[in-house]
Amino acid sequence: METTALREQLQSWLAARPKDSDPHWQAWACTDLAAFWQRVEHLEFNGKHDKRIAYGVWPQAEPSPWLIISPGRIESYIKYQEVALEWAAQGYSIALIDHRGQGFSERLTEHHEHGHVERFKDYVDDFATWLEVLEERIGNQNAYLLAHSMGGAIAALYLARYGQAKGPFPFKAAALCSPMMGINTKPWPEALGKAVVRFGARVKRAFAPNSAHYFIGMKDYNPLPFATNDLTHSEQRYEWFTAMYREHPKIRLGGPTWQWLLEALDVIDVLPRLAPKVQIPLLVLQGSEDKVVMPEGQERFVENCSNSKAQLLRIANARHEILMERDDIRSGAIEQIKAFLR
């Protein structure tokens, strides 16, 4: 499809989108949004320790800026179809990744639904390798980074690792939505929760070093009813993305293992000290009703950035998944991100 016709088609699909308060929203997602998604190339590369890492690319028909999307824990890149359409309609090519051990990427334990990683650094190494894979396609076009939750922690570590060197190619700017820079340890006080994880993980490593187990109370994938979820106020989007897990059982992921939590806590502790190394314009968005990650770590990270173009934006009434929120909450956040990533 030639460029003009493609742009018009994208705009048409987006214009046809109902409000998410309209029960026809899901019908739109299953027709127009699905038609847009058919153009995605579903690809793979070998990450750290030769683990198979899945990713998707939605290419424009001509050279264009790129939006690179780094999803959160438990997520697959197929969850970000609506976000991809919104940026594609603005002329961007899109690349999205399934981090190791989740989505369509290779699992790391014998139990398919363990949320596990041996070293958090492996996520960052995979991400750097992926960008090298994409480098030939992106060329000298501008690239922007959009990340959510755990994907935000991975993105922050990547940006801090390369500092002024900026990695395989320079990102012009990055937006981190609800980045995992502090975990809600309730019902335990934070200090006690961290101590339990660190002690338990080290005991398990000493006595069962070659096996992974869920953390206390964690289990296989079991979605909550919309009425009791802590992720979003948007019933249409919630029902749409939970339906994906029924349609694609392969992408289901349960709770975190002891080792994943240990690695996550270690990363959370180090992130504020790494913040001064981030050199590009950075927007950190936090939801005022987020019960999954804690805001204090995000605030410390932005405060510690030596970069004068680091900003913290609090989204009123938003739960953890700002990009999947109800329209009256989400739309303003999307416009703020678009304005920043340009």
Domain interval for residue 231: 3-340
| Per-residue DSSP letter, 79 | G
Specify whether the CB–CB gap between 117 and 101 falls below 8 A. Answer: yes
In this structure, the strands spanning 66-70 and 171-177 are unpaired
CA–centroid distance for 75 within its chain: 7
- 3-class DSSP state of 96: strand
pLDDT at 306: 83
What band does 174 get if pLDDT is binned at 50, 70 and 90? Answer: very high
Q: Name the nearest CA neighbour of 79 among 190, 270, 258, 241.
A: 241
The count of domains in the chain is 1
Q: Which two tokens stand for residue 46?
A: 């070998």
In this structure, the strands spanning 93-97 and 171-177 are unpaired
- Res. 199: pLDDT tops 90: no
Q: Which two tokens stand for residue 246?
A: 């029924």
Average pLDDT over residues 62-66: 95
Averaged confidence pLDDT in the chain = 93
- Res. 165: pLDDT tops 70: no
pLDDT at 162: 84
* Digit-coded pLDDT (tens) for 214-236: 888 899 999 999 999 999 999 99
Dist. CA 64–CA 27, nearest whole Å: 30
- Res. 187: pLDDT tops 80: no
Lowest mean pLDDT among 3-7, 210-214, 297-301: 210-214
What percentage of the chain carries pLDDT values higher than 70?
A: 96
Residues in the chain: 342
* Digit-coded pLDDT (tens) for 101-131: 999 999 999 999 999 999 999 999 999 999 9
User: Domain holding 77: CATH number?
Assistant: 3.40.50.1820
- Res. 76: pLDDT tops 90: yes
Using a 10 angstrom Cβ sphere, with 0-12 exposed, 13-18 middle and 19 or more buried, the burial of residue 242 is: middle
What band does 164 get if pLDDT is binned at 50, 70 and 90? Answer: low
Dist. CA 206–CA 189, nearest whole Å: 26
- Which segments within the chain are labelled E, that is strand? 41-46, 52-58, 66-70, 93-97, 143-148, 171-177, 282-287, 310-315
Specify whether the CB–CB gap between 189 and 334 falls below 8 A. Answer: no
Side chain identity, residue 162: Y
In this structure, the strands spanning 52-58 and 93-97 are antiparallel
Using a 10 angstrom Cβ sphere, with 0-12 exposed, 13-18 middle and 19 or more buried, the burial of residue 247 is: exposed
| β-pair partners for 162 | none
Dist. CA 153–CA 151, nearest whole Å: 5
Q: Work out the number of other CB atoms within 10 angstroms of the CB of residue 207.
A: 8
pLDDT at 182: 93
Q: Which two tokens stand for residue 304?
A: 């510690």
CA–centroid distance for 342 within its chain: 20
What band does 193 get if pLDDT is binned at 50, 70 and 90? Answer: confident
